[in-house]
Amino acid sequence: MKRLGILLSGRGSNFVAIASAIRERRLLGAEIAVVLSNQADAAGLTAAREMGLAAFAVPSAGRKRAEHDAEMIARLHQHRVDLVCLAGYMRILSAEFVRAFPNRILNIHPSLLPAFPGLDAQAQALEYGAKVAGCTVHFVDEAVDHGAIVVQRTVPVLDDDTAESLAAKVLEQEHIAYPEAIMRVLSGDFRFEGRRYVRRAKPSTRRLRGPEP
């Protein structure tokens, strides 16, 4: 069983989607080891406690990033976390944090990266006039909204969409994309080619294609 550490700052709907996928056996081989939030009043933290999960606030306000991140890293190690999942965690990770979990941190962003990184991604897409929007689950590296892409899902942008209606449609896709990405990463069936995440062909597929040259 691989142990997930979920980091969130607010609503926590992606966390709930991951927890539901585990409960409904759509996400196999994973369990949630701990939920951490830098905001003590995050709704996601309350939801985690109601589910009986280990859930802690590690307040960030007024603390140096290095000090706060060191406590987060310690908590994640303490709960023997294999994969860190940022789910609406509204803090930039320090390089030390990223290095503590090399290729073992995922993030979800509500745009088709590399378009519209940063805040209010759905409103950015709408204002820009994009006709397709979506979400991206990616590995976290030392740059913001930047690491190798694992899963993307799209939605059409309609003429009468507002930032809110678009965000709602994207969020529905986020809830499908995140469990799927976690499952893929935990399977270990991938390699990196430059910054590309590439899935390995399943043995059965290889057989159909014949022996490798």
Q: Which of 68, 109, 153, 169 binds ligand GRF (CB under 6 A)?
A: 109
Stretch that binds ligand GRF, among 8-16, 75-83, 143-151, 200-208 (CB under 6 A): 8-16
Contact region with ligand GRF (CB under 6 A), list: 11-19, 26-34, 112-120, 150-158: 11-19
- Is there a contact between 96 and 70 (Cβ–Cβ < 8 Å)? yes
CA distances for 42 relative to 8, 22, 81, 89, 120, angstroms: 8, 22, 21, 10, 19
Instruction: Check residue 134 and report its DSSP letter.
Output: E
Which of the stretches 10-18, 58-66, 156-164, 198-206 binds ligand GRF when contact is defined by CB under 6 A? 10-18
* Residue from 54, 158, 174 nearest 108 by CA: 174
- Greatest Cα pair distance, the chain, in angstroms, is 60
Q: Which is the catalytic residue, given 109, 138, 146, 175?
A: 109
Residue least distant from ligand GRF (Cβ): 88
Q: Is 147 in the site for ligand GRF (CB under 6 A)?
A: no
Residues in region 152-211 near ligand GRF by CB under 6 A: 171, 174
The DSSP H or E segment spanning 193 is strand 190-193
Place of tokens 């950015």: 124
Which residues inside 33-72 make contact with ligand GRF, applying CB under 6 A?
44
- The span of 5-13, 141-149, 156-164, 201-209 binding ligand GRF (CB under 6 A) equals 5-13
Asked if 11 touches ligand GRF (CB under 6 A), the answer is yes
The torsion defined by the Cα of 12, 15, 20 and 26, in degrees rounded to 10, comes to 150
Q: Which of 36, 108, 182, 185 binds ligand GRF (CB under 6 A)?
A: 108
C-alpha Rg value of the chain to the nearest Å:
18
Q: Reply yes or no on whether 109 is catalytic.
A: yes
How many other CB atoms sit within 10 Å of the CB of residue 42? 24
Question: Contact 36/28 with Cβ under 8 angstroms?
Answer: no
The two tokens of residue 106 are: 């995922």
Binding-site member from 27, 69, 88, 112 for ligand GRF (CB under 6 A): 88
**Minimum distance of ligand GRF from residue 168's CB (angstroms):** 10
Residue numbers of the site for ligand GRF (CB under 6 A)?
Answer: 8, 10-14, 44, 87-88, 108-110, 135, 171, 174
- Residues annotated as part of the active site: 109
